[in-house]
Amino acid sequence: MLPTVQVLLSTYNGEKTVERQINSILKQAGVRVNILVRDDGSIDNTQKILRKLQDRNPERIELFFGSNLGWRASFFKLMELSGSADFFAFSDQDDIWFANKLSASIAPMKKSLRSPEMVHVQSLEVDENLQQLPNQRKKLPEPLSFKMAVVSELFQGCSMVWNRAAMDIVKENLPSSPDIPHDFWTGLICYLVGDVQFVTEPQFYHIRYSDNSSTDGNILKGRVARIKKVLKHQKAYINPCRDLLHTSVLFSPEERNFFETVTDYKEHFHLRMSLVLDKDFRRPSSLATLLLKAQILLGQY
């Protein structure tokens, strides 16, 4: 019997791209896939397109229409609404998946669904005409330590597939902070309590649009944006440690002690300095690590 996969898709004003993406999901080979869609208050023709697609595929597409919560809260709402499946995946509304994206993601995982597992695949960065871009973003094969995983956005939602055991743990321990993204949290929990594998072969088109002002995928823009935040005394990096301490997950003594240090460092100078001097508490690049340590010294992390 083919494995079942539920794809969680949040939409917002995606009339130009969402039909193409949903069709690429429905064409996935080697799996039985259904799509759980939550529209985040679109004001264009997105909802009309979604209803049309559901009419054509009533057993494979489930729709929810809600008020505008923002993409973070919308995806967490989808996780709360998710049903029963062997595996789960996030989807953006403007990508195009290769036909074997889900089956290639599932293949490295063990057949048992009782142990939490996640696979993170690579994307192929293309322009609006699906022409490959010269500078391809490559994720690290794996975080160098749990401390690095806590402070680095290594997990991209559209690249992730995880099993039922992982989903059960994440759903029981959703964060309370509105600043924590769905993919960052899901990937981090999977990394801390389960097994995460990084597959380097591209499995979908991640499209860069000419009118997209986002820093997603643009390293230089991302670094400039973070530097500006540091200079404005704003948070430049996500701090999930307080939320991690409030979960029911049984962390190791070393992990729990570290999360407590990061949570309380503003109140104690020796904790602040311990983080600044901790060589394992770092981001992938030297510049990003320097900015992180500066935020620690300034009490902005």
Higher-confidence residue of 200 and 258: namely 258
Higher-confidence residue of 110 and 218: namely 110
Residue 19 has φ and ψ, to the nearest 5°, of -65, -45
pLDDT at 214 over 50: no
pLDDT at 72 over 70: yes
Three-state DSSP class for residue 62: strand
Tokens matching residue 109: 């995982």
3-state secondary structure 236-268: CCCCCHHHHHCCCCCCCHHHHHHHHHHHHHHHC
83-116, pLDDT tens digit by residue?
999 999 999 999 999 999 999 999 999 877 789 9
For residue 213, what pLDDT is reported?
Answer: 40
The structure's pTM equals 0.91
pLDDT at 212 over 90: no
For residue 114, what pLDDT is reported?
Answer: 82
| Rounded Cα gap, residues 234 and 209, in angstroms | 28
Decide: residue 46, CB within 10 A, 0-12 exposed, 13-18 middle, 19+ buried: buried
Confidence of residue 279 (pLDDT cuts 50, 70, 90): very high
For residue 141, what pLDDT is reported?
Answer: 59
Higher-confidence residue of 135 and 86: namely 86
Residues 6+ apart with CB under 8 A from 158: 90, 91, 92, 95, 123, 204, 206
Query: Half-sphere exposure of 112 toward its Cβ, with a 13 Å CA cutoff?
Result: 5
The distance of Cα 250 from the centroid of its chain, to the nearest Å, equals 22
Q: How far is CA 263 from CA 177, 190, 232, 282, in A?
A: 13, 21, 22, 16
For residue 224, what pLDDT is reported?
Answer: 78
Higher-confidence residue of 41 and 219: namely 41
- Top-level class of domain 4-207: alpha beta
Three-state DSSP class for residue 157: helix
Give me the mean pLDDT over the 227-247 stretch. 84
Q: For residues 46 and 13, is the Cβ–Cβ distance under 8 A?
A: yes
Q: For residues 175 and 198, is the Cβ–Cβ distance under 8 A?
A: no
For residue 223, what pLDDT is reported?
Answer: 67
| Rounded Cα gap, residues 164 and 83, in angstroms | 10
Q: For residues 182 and 158, is the Cβ–Cβ distance under 8 A?
A: no
Decide: residue 294, CB within 10 A, 0-12 exposed, 13-18 middle, 19+ buried: middle
Give the residue extent of every domain in the chain: 4-207, 219-298
